[in-house]
Structure 1
Amino acid sequence: MERQRRSFTEEYKRQAVELVVSSGRSITSVGKELGLRDSVLRRWVDKSGGPGFGDRPVAPGERTAAHGARHSKKVDRDLCRNPDMSFRFIEDHRDAYPVRLMCAVLEVSPAGYYAWRDRPVSKRTKSNAALLAAIRQVHQDSNGRYGSPRVHAVLRRQGRGASRGRIERMMRRHGIRAIRAPPRRVGTTDSRHNLPIAPNLIARDFSAPVPNRIWLADITYIPTAEGWLYLAAVMDLFSRKIVGWAMRDHMQVELAAAALTMAIQQQRPQPG
């Protein structure tokens, strides 16, 4: 019976070659781990351009030109020290990379991964999943405004006994943050004072027969990257044209006076 020939994707070949180059292990050792013949894996390595691989295995600790130029990314040591993190990484990427290849890179056994995958979910994991769902719901109900203190208070009212520290850690781990509202500014008009009030000469008649007879003025504020910018403007009621303006980082008398001075210099109104 003719033996069926195995086929490998280019991505699988590249990962196998990278395992040989980055781990410093021999072609025989890696080939045995992946279930490949030495001749097949050596041919892939030679094709990749790694110098010296066609004649001998890479000695432990030896760095080649291909290693330095093409394999600058290193395996996260935290993954290798924590089997649970390694198994979780393999589970999340099993559709993109071969399981045995990832187990070899992360220095865990395939049997250990499959045992981890098949074991029942712990009570703590279930509790964390339920708490995370509750946190997301409270955060969503608040339109993203609640941080961990308010989320904790709402969950306590719901009867959940999770501590504020646990909720804060879980929100930080999953990127759940409170949306900060922009700072509110006090309006430019403040009628609560005992200062003299100018008489109302217009009496809500917003019409003017000729230019430079009635001017209107106002002050507003504009948020910028460097802080609040205050703008004073003077408008001719006849033409609705801005005849004077000034900008400052404060709202003092000098701001309004500068806008009025510009209007007088440009328009040169007659007396009266």
Structure 2
Amino acid sequence: MNRCRFVEDHQRRHGVKRLCGVLGVLGLSRSSFCYWRRTAAARTARQTAEAGLAARIRRVHQESDGTYGVPRITAELRDEGGPVVNHKRVARVMRTIGLEGVRLRRRHRTTLADQTASKAPDLIGRDFTAVVVNTKRCSSSPWTWPSYQPWTAAWKIASSALASPVDRPGLLSYSRGRGILSPEAGDAPT
């Protein structure tokens, strides 16, 4: 129940000042109640206008077989020549009556993976724990710190377009053989 409605229903028995004093703890002042009572006619007129607008929106939405969204419904309502309607008001009314347009946008795929290509080797055996600091480094980017280590250089060369797919395993095994990447957790870099 609305607090202002409660005060209006019980004002004859207890008085507005007393009820607003009790409800003042809940955030209702006398000036708010007086404003609510003074604007009751305007609220009723706005609700009636929005009910008519909701009927017009439903009709346009049904004529479009439920495909039109806020921008197109707003344009259709403006073309009809009725009262001027803002797109924000149309969106609010559509939310309250539960209508929405159809979204046909597809997700854009930015990367198309080669399904025939072999997967990258798991050089650390999915064990990301390290006994000694700086023993294992994992990144999806070849630009890891420090960038002067041999395995980073080999990774950059192996992932570049200059290296053929045949050369890549050799480069990675070269950097792995130097002790930089090792599946054993206790190995330290040499």
TM bin (shorter chain): 0.3 to 0.5
- TM-score normalised by structure 2 residue count: 0.36
- The structure with the largest alpha-carbon Rg is 1
